[in-house]
Amino acid sequence: MSAGDTPLRDAFAPSGTLRVSINFGNPVLAARGDNGEPQGISVDIATELARQLGLPLQLVTYDAAGKAVAGVAAGEADVGFFAIDPVRGKDIAFTEPYLLIEGSYLVRAESTIQTHADVDKSGIRVAVGTGSAYDLFLTRELKSADIVRISTSPEVVNTFLRDRLDVAAGVKQQLEADARRLGDLRLLDGNFMVIRQAMGIAKSRGALPAAWLTTFITELIQNGFVSAAVKRHNIDGVSVPE
């Protein structure tokens, strides 16, 4: 089925406008430009999706991943950009991943925590953004450490410092930027997870738009669109699946 077919367009955008959720909680994907307007890899892909479907575009912005997921699941937005996770997969149909992002740990320079194994110990408090991919993953994986959930991912490091928590977990690029900005902080070597970033649509919309969306994102990977967007927005430390 082609992008211009009415059943497909209606499945994607029952209102007649394609509403795409944009999460400012992940700076790798989106941020506010100098004029306050959303910009970034996810905005570029959303614009291309609307163009191919022949639909007007409305960007629905959120400050946290969990809120963006809930917005698509509830019908506030039609399509979104999310890390693939089995919890989210109950309501969201995901495409193949178009971007791989590292999740890292940040500690104080003087911290005795040196390895990932040191993190999962009794009494260690780990700050994460509520409902983020890191929250969902670490909730399953950490057996002894305590998770302290912060309202939005960009506030994780500030809260980690203010409340004297032991570890901050999040997008490697955000943690690196915070470490440069604040000083006396260091990232642990390696990553605790690789986030598979995908597009998603509510399963309640049916199989047709989900299948077409997967084809769409696969073509953007293969034709170099995603790689060009990464380069255009000067995003380092990520990879595009082959």
Hey, CA dihedral for 40, 42, 45, 51, is it positive or negative? Answer: negative
Q: What is the pTM assigned to this prediction? A: 0.85
CA–CA distance, 161 with 182 (Å, rounded to integer)? 10
Residue 135 · residue 128 · CB < 8 Å:
yes
Number of structural domains found in the chain = 2
Percent of the chain whose predicted confidence (pLDDT) is above 90: 83
- The verdict on 198 and 83 lying in the same domain is yes
Distance CA 30, CA 22 (A): 7
Residue 83 belongs to some domain of the structure? yes
**Per-residue model confidence (pLDDT) at position 145:** 98
pLDDT level of residue 237 (50, 70, 90 thresholds): confident
Same domain for 159 and 139: yes
* 166 and 118 assigned to the same domain: yes
Residue-wise pLDDT for 196-231, tens only, equals 999 999 999 999 999 999 999 999 999 999 999 999
What is the extent of the structural domain holding 120? 102-192
* CATH code, domain with 13: 3.40.190.10
Average per-residue pLDDT for the chain: 93
